Amino acid sequence: MTPTTSLDLSRTPRLAAAIRRLGAAVSRAIWIEGAGRTALVLGLGVGALFLVDWGLDLPRAVRAVLLAGLVLAVGATLWRRLVRPLRARPDAAGLAVLLERDLEVREDLLVSAVGLQRAPGGGGALERALVERVFERADAAAARVEVARLLDRGPATRRGLAGALALVLAATPLVVSPLADVFLARLFGADVPWPRRTTLGLEVVSGAIVENPGEEDLRLLVPRGGDVALAIRAIDGSVTPDRVELASRSSIPQSLDPDGTGTFRALLRSVTRDDRIVVTGGDDDDGRPSATITVVDPPDLSGLVFEIEPPSYTDLPPQRYENTGATALVGSTVRLWAATSPPDARAVLALLPSDAEIELERRPVPDGLGEVLGSDPVLFHRFTLDQSLRLRFDLTDERGLATPDPALFALDAVEDRPPELVRLVPGRSDVETSPDGAVRCVLAIRDDFGLGSVTWIARAGGEDGPVVGQGQLSALEVPEGGDESWHATLRLEVAELLGETGGIGSQIAIEFEATDRARPPQVGRDASLRVRVLGRDELLRRVKDRLARSRTTTSSLSERLVEGRRRAEELAVLVAEAGLTSGDEAAGLRTLLALARRAESDGRSIVRELTAVCELVLYARLDDKAGGLLEALDREMSDRTSRTFDAQPWRAVIAAHEREPLAVDGFATHLVSIADLAIELMDGPLADASRALDDAASARDGETLVRTIDTASQAAREGSLLVEALLERLAEWDNYQSVLSLTRDLLERQKNLSERTKRFAADR
């Protein structure tokens, strides 16, 4: 198009001015938009090239292609958005058309004025007048036109600002960042390497000696079998990668994640051979840092001897333990000898669980230990054992290399326990007797390393009362228990303990103590034995009550034996009729056996109760004629070895009494004969019935089954006869006691009548 300035518009100066202003505004808009778009493409392209090359480290050919693409893109944008729009700007007529849009009435007045001034003048006067009229009107209309309303400069302005912003954002890192020179050099073809974002450092935390600290290729000395702890960090303010890889020649690579402080930690377990490790992460992939591992033999124990000297009071011989843990009594003297490899290794002895550390001294090898410890000087330590210990030997050689697996040995301390004192007789803690009675005490004592003494003390009224007697017992060793078990016995006379101050209603507390030979001695005690002193009438009343209980139990036993005999006879008939050949086939045999077991248990209860009554009568001296029976029973009781009930002492007393009477007939001998009958029942029919039924249960032929059941039935029959005899004897005793009670009442009433008569005579 024809440029605007080549047209003479002097006839319409205001129109010419409006056209010039509009042309300038159009040119500015084209320049702003074209430059903005070109800057936007340039900024985005340069930024993209920087990021791609920095992240991917592009080769030269790829960078050249990308640079050419960027140049073409910028050139194309410049041609399309700036050069071509500038060439396509409208001429004066076109600008007049644009100005015409701002008029209220569009009659192409401004375009006509421009066209008439472009055409050569001529024509008549009327024509010229009309042309002048057009010029006047067009010039006046041009004065009313506002050019700013004809163009929307917002899009062009926004594109220009976006381009400027993109160009600034792309140029700022290149100017400020130290990477600008590298990028520009690489952009124009130079093979300059990018600076690394990540630089890793390798540090040995524990488990190895670093021969060249501070270097990238470390040389490590590692004890054979030890664990090496490594720490990897990004140094010099470099970027910490998301993950680090630790590669070695002897194992698969390890992928490590950072902890909360950005440190990567690795543990090489049980290193047994030389190796080389390389660390890579992020863009640090040049094989640095690295470490060369050399495995060496660590210091170790080559021999160990514990010499144990027990405390002198134990009379135990010294002991020696070689290359193993030891067991020793508390208070023993322990001498420790240890040989190391190499011989000059430094050793620290850690005592666990206290964590106390002792640095061992060097001494020559003592005589007799050379075969175990060698000939070089050895480590030595002496101490007194007071608790169980674990000994850990922490060894370090001259290079500072420590053993990865310190030797650990157990030294178990055996406690010297206090003596264990058990009172066998009396079996109960409460005993009742008369003022003239006696108490037999039998003690069993056990101690692990020797008994010292056994003493007793008696207090009137209770454990806090005054002392009324004390003494020391002679303890006899029990052959079955070796030198760890003792037996002691004591017979106490109540009258001697209480003297003239005691009597009916008094109480005595007797305590027994045993000490061992430890220093200081340890004391073992038994529960206090409480002796209550009762009157003869009260004791006889208790005897009567206990015999009444025995009579009730005996009546129940009689019924049980009758029932057992009936069942045995029925079972024998059933077995014979059914032709049974095995005890398993006899359905009622188990019930019968349970019945026999219950009867046998009742028999033992009766014997226990009756012998206890006899013991009370004899030791309380309720029968003055039974002194011989008391002495015989006392001798047998002094040899008791168990706390459980044992009828053997009574069997021996009864057998001796049958051979030669030990006492004049009285109620004591009558009670002993009743106990004899109960023992005969327990040892005879009741035991025979149980054994026969056991044999029946294991029988595997019909003949044996029938015979054993018949034997049980016969035993039940014999037992019933003995029970009836026992009931008769108990009834006789009950009658005897009733007669005695009536006689005592009669005598008491006579005494009261005599006293009243005397008082009446005195009053007269």
Q: How much is the pLDDT for 150? A: 67
Closest CA to 340 of 410, 270, 404, 407: 407
Residue 192 located in a structural domain: no
Which of 351, 384, 414 terminates a domain? The answer is 414
Flag whether pLDDT at 580 surpasses 80.
no
Average pLDDT over residues 3-11: 59
Cα 251-256-259 angle, rounded to 5 deg? 145
Mapping DSSP to helix (H, G, I), strand (E, B) and coil, where does residue 372 land? Answer: helix
Do 587 and 716 fall within a single domain?
yes
Asked whether the predicted pLDDT for residue 166 surpasses 70, the reply is no
Question: Are residue 703 and residue 614 in the same domain, yes or no?
Answer: yes
Please count the structural domains in the chain.
Answer: 5
pLDDT of amino acid 584: 63
Average pLDDT over residues 58-65: 82
pLDDT at 4: 45
Residue that finishes a domain, picked among 238, 270, 296: 296
Does 325 lie in the same domain as 279?
no
Note down the domain range covering 240.
200-296
The secondary structure of 408-447, three-state, reads EEEEEEECCCCCEEEEEECCCCEEEECCCCEEEEEEEEEC
Least confident of 215-224, 551-560, 732-741: 732-741
The closest of 631, 611, 640 to 425, measured between CA atoms, is 640
- Asked if residue 152 belongs to a domain, the reply is yes
Domain boundary among 503, 518, 534: 534
Residue 364 token pair: 């020559």
Higher pLDDT, residue 292 or 699: 292
Per-residue pLDDT of 492-507, as tens digits, reads 988 888 876 667 888 8
Three-state secondary-structure class, residue 572: helix
pLDDT at 3: 44
Residues 232 and 254 in one domain: yes
User: Has residue 278 been placed in a domain?
Assistant: yes
List residues bridging with 754 in a β-sheet: none
Q: Which two tokens stand for residue 485?
A: 């078990």
Do residues 391 and 345 both lie within one domain?
yes
Q: Most confidently modeled of 15-19, 439-443, 475-479, 577-581?
A: 439-443
Distance CA 670, CA 536 (A): 18
**Which two tokens mark 513?**
């103590």
DSSP code per residue over 216-277: SEEEEEEETTEEEEEEEEE-TTPPPPS-EEEEESSS--EEE-B-TTS-EEEEEEEE-S-EEE
pLDDT digits (tens, 9 = 90+) for 26-50: 778 778 777 777 777 777 777 778 7
DSSP notation for 718-729: HHHHHHHHHHHH
Rounded to two decimals, the pTM is: 0.60
CATH number of 389's domain:
2.60.40.10
**Is residue 619 located within the same domain as residue 714?**
yes
Q: 2 falls in which pLDDT band (50, 70, 90)?
A: very low
| Stretch 678-693: mean pLDDT | 88
User: What pLDDT does 203 receive?
Assistant: 87
Nearest to 550 by CA among 601, 620, 607: 607
State whether 473 and 360 are in the same domain. no
Tokens of 696: 């029946």
Enter the tokens of residue 114.
Answer: 């421009």
pLDDT, one tens digit per residue, over 408-453 is 899 999 888 899 999 888 888 899 998 888 999 999 998 888 888 9
Residues 6+ apart with CB under 8 A from 227: 207, 267, 268, 269, 270, 271, 404
**Within this chain, do residues 530 and 554 fall inside the same structural domain, yes or no?**
no
Asked if residue 172 is part of any domain, the answer here is yes
pLDDT at 510: 92
Q: What is the pLDDT of residues 74-94, one digit of tens each?
A: 888 788 877 888 787 787 777
pLDDT band for 5, please (50, 70, 90 cuts). Answer: very low
Contacts of residue 525, defined as CB under 8 A and 6 or more positions apart, other chains included, come to 421, 511, 512, 513, 514
Does residue 760 belong to any structural domain of this protein? Answer: no
Read off the tokens for 553: 């139990």
**Rounded CA gap, 34 and 28, in Å?**
10
In a domain, 73, yes or no: yes
Q: How confident is the model at residue 119 (pLDDT cuts 50, 70, 90)?
A: low
> Does a structural domain hold residue 757?
no
Amino acid 674 reads I
Alpha carbon dihedral 73, 74, 75, 81, in 10-degree steps, equals 100
Same domain, 483 and 563: no
Same domain, yes or no: 223 and 146: no
What is the distance between the alpha carbons of residues 458 and 29, in angstroms, rounded to a whole number? 128
CATH number at residue 278: 2.60.40.1930
- Check residue 596 and give its pLDDT: 86
Residues 410 and 481 in one domain: no
Instruction: Return the structure tokens found at 207.
Output: 């488990």
pLDDT in tens, 721-758: 988 988 888 887 666 655 555 555 666 667 676 777 77
Query: In this structure, what DSSP letter does residue 311 have?
Result: -
Q: Kindly state the DSSP code that residue 364 receives in the 8-state scheme.
A: P
Q: Do both 279 and 305 map to the same domain?
A: no
Residues 6+ apart with CB under 8 A from 212: 218, 219
What digits encode the pLDDT tens for the residues 240-267? 888 888 888 877 788 888 888 888 888 8
User: What phi, psi does 139 have (nearest 5°)?
Assistant: -65, -40
Q: Tell me whether residue 194 is in a domain.
A: no
**176-184 average pLDDT score:** 68
- How far apart, in whole angstroms, are the C-alpha atoms of residue 378 and residue 170? 76
514-524: pLDDT as tens digits? 998 888 888 99
